[in-house]
Amino acid sequence: VASDAQRRTIYALSTPFGKAGVAVVRVSGPDALAVKQMITRPVMKKSSKKENIPWMMERCRIVHPIHNHTLDDGLVVFFKGPRSFTTEDVLELHTHSGRAIINSVLSALASIPSCRPAEAGEFTRRAFEGGRLDLTQVEGLKDLINAETESQRQMALEAAGGAARAQFEQLRSTIIECLVFVEGFIDFGEDVDELGQEHMYEEARVRARKISEVIQGHLNDNRRGEILRSGIRLAIFGPPNAGKSSLLNFLAQREAAIVTPIPGTTRDVLELTLDIGGLPVIVADTAGLRKSDNVVESIGIDRARNIVKGSDILLCVLSLPDVLINSSTGLRVEIPSSLQPLITPHTLFLLNKGDLTTVSSDNFDDLLKNSELTGRAWLTSLQNNHGTAEFLVGFTKTLKEIYDIQGDDITGRNPLITHARHRDHLDTALQHLNYFLTIPLEQVDFAAEELRYAAKAIGKVSGLIDNEDVLDVLFRDFCIGK
């Protein structure tokens, strides 16, 4: 980390490079105000008293500091540190957005010796180093920029605003409280009688037990936050010709917007990210199973099994006429034996091509009961668009139940863990806390050590303990100008 003396003033374009209404160039560092004097000229003559008022937009001409040519007409705002994004003095130049304008402004800045171009994420990094953001907020900010669905946006906004930071800080400070009790009697042990010592130790243990439970609760969240952040992985599978592609088309074209087509990691598997009821759902279409009926038995199943293994939700599409049997107890669905290995108690079913059967909404409930599929199967005719709306409503509701989302509030209970990194550190903290709880009073020095490790692990989530490697990776993923 550069000391203040070495710290250069950095600049970058913070909006996309190209034609648009407005472009914003950001400048941050000790010379921001000097840069303002060099590169802008007020349009309206003002009393000097009115110049350089922080946080106030000023009309200006933007000029080249050496030959003084006007580059553009624009606006300038000066943010006085530490009340700025980076905590340093910051200048924002708002110009018209066009390649030549942007290039001329950037080269004007380049001609100022104390300035240099910012690296990717460097503004955010300075905000972190200035203590304005902790790592969970940095991650939140990054996730916010990358958010593609409503649930992602809401979660990221909360994290960027410091909701997770506050929770982690609370956990850490409670552990420090325990430590105070334990260390207190290491330091003053001789002055406290045995009963008093036991009492203090018990106070620490009560608190530690409580935090241990809280952390365990967060760790037992079925990776909800991580899944909502990165997308729910949905595998659509089933025999050839059941209607899998028709379903995918329905989901993609009608009710949900295709957000990003991702080339599949496995050959023949197409992945799409859809927004279903505000939830990011990454759909894998197991098109590879189509090759031929025989292949389904061998390679196909292997391939499907891999997809199924890496998925959060399984949706099996069956052609109802092919799987319907009329038994003594009534109509029933028999799942083909080749698919049996892929089915779990949580697998959802779409019983398609209902138009080719006598099954209707009247006898469908009985059919589900007989087949032990109640609550997790829908009847559709994708060809005629029958039952599809009901399926979508039911499916969305099921997803929201699984991920514990109530009503329209997509994030519901705020999930604390949104990155694997948080989980790792919380897990470490929990191990030290639980170990602490096994240590008897006689070994109080070891006990204190365990609490210290636990607090340190939580501190790593916020970035209190700086680790250049983590930081480099985190900020590298930002774009230039952020």
- Interface residues with ligand GDP (CB under 6 A) are 238, 240-246, 290, 317, 352-353, 355-356, 381-383
Choose between 67 and 267: whose C-beta lies nearer to ligand GDP.
267
**Residue from 126, 205, 244, 422 binding Zn ion (CB under 5 A):** 244
**Residue from 197, 245, 370, 398 binding Zn ion (CB under 5 A):** 245
Instruction: Indicate whether 353 belongs to the interface with Zn ion (CB under 5 A).
Output: no
Shortest CA distance to 475 belongs to which of 126, 184, 215? 126
353 binds, among Zn ion, ligand GDP, none (CB under 5 to 8 A by kind): ligand GDP
User: Which of these ranges, 150-158, 240-248, 392-400, 471-479, lies near Zn ion under the rule CB under 5 A?
Assistant: 240-248
The three state secondary structure string of 363-394 is HHHHHHHHCCCCCCEEECECCCCECHHHHHHH
Count of residues that bind Zn ion according to CB under 5 A: 2
Q: How far is the CB of 304 from ligand GDP (least distance, A)?
A: 12
User: Which of these ranges, 242-250, 260-268, 333-341, 467-475, lies near Zn ion under the rule CB under 5 A?
Assistant: 242-250
Q: How far is CA 121 from CA 26, 116, 142, 277, 482, in A?
A: 12, 14, 10, 32, 5
User: Which of these ranges, 140-148, 213-221, 241-249, 364-372, lies near Zn ion under the rule CB under 5 A?
Assistant: 241-249
Spatial distance between the Cα atoms of 111 and 454, rounded to a whole number of angstroms: 50
Choose between 305 and 452: whose C-beta lies nearer to Zn ion.
305
Choose between 244 and 400: whose C-beta lies nearer to ligand GDP.
244
383 binds, among ligand GDP, Zn ion, none (CB under 5 to 8 A by kind): ligand GDP
Structure tokens at 241: 């010709």
Shortest CA distance to 201 belongs to which of 437, 38, 17, 404? 437
Q: What are phi and psi for residue 426, nearest 5 degrees?
A: -65, -40
Residue nearest Zn ion, Cβ-based: 245
Q: How far is CA 185 from CA 181, 200, 433, in A?
A: 7, 8, 19
Choose between 108 and 379: whose C-beta lies nearer to ligand GDP.
379
Residue 11 β-bridge partners: 27, 117
Number of CB atoms found within 10 A of residue 75's CB: 17
Shortest CA distance to 26 belongs to which of 78, 71, 87, 73? 78
Choose between 115 and 348: whose C-beta lies nearer to Zn ion.
348
424 binds, among ligand GDP, Zn ion, none (CB under 5 to 8 A by kind): none
Choose between 245 and 414: whose C-beta lies nearer to Zn ion.
245
Number of CB atoms found within 10 A of residue 255's CB: 17
Give the end-to-end CA distance of the chain in Å, rounded to a whole number: 18
Chain positions contacting Zn ion, by CB under 5 A:
244-245
